[in-house]
Structure 1
């Protein structure tokens, strides 16, 4: 065997050792990355649980017909839809003019005249909305009253 053959064989062995070492290092980095992603997702889930709900429960105003729902999200919301859910004892439902821009702390009003057929279900409204800075991410929230 010539010297060049030995050098080639040694270079091949060294290359294989380096490649195996790189695979081991990459596997460890992948495991650490996976663990970091898991921890980040858990933190995001915990943060979402700690946030207040975006809408308060509807509150009956003094006139006995008009209800208000407060934006408690901490952000400005665009409401695209507000509808009375089937069931309950609402005979007349009048939503506000929509779309409506509701800043944090402001309220959205709707009118619900109760006294329709008595039902075993609860009165509820469904809101279709999005945060003003995320208009493509639509949400639906149901609130009972």
Structure 2
């Protein structure tokens, strides 16, 4: 998504980048939308959430220090959803997440690092395909219980 945004003021020296669309409509319904892109030509990663009467994400003082973006400025913004999305998942994984709404919602809210780690763990069963459904079931249990990552195996 490309758009121009007027940078607003946020708490503790941060700025708010308003997003002029509903991310649930564009990227699917999620509690939080992890995004990557650029603001004023400078790379950013953030979380789009409800802000004021719409949606937006904040950029902290450390990001602002050297970028030249200030509150009140109009800057070009480009954002994409970060990491694997539901539409990108294998059918068996997507079906398992759909069958357990709590696990699916928790998976969708995870940062891309955690989503990718679960998917790599499942994809590591190529040499032992009988393990794939076992790992998918384990992932669903862990996600439903609110675990960001699987416990290390011994």
Under a length normalisation based on structure 2, what TM-score does the superposition of the two structures give?
0.27
Larger Rg: 1
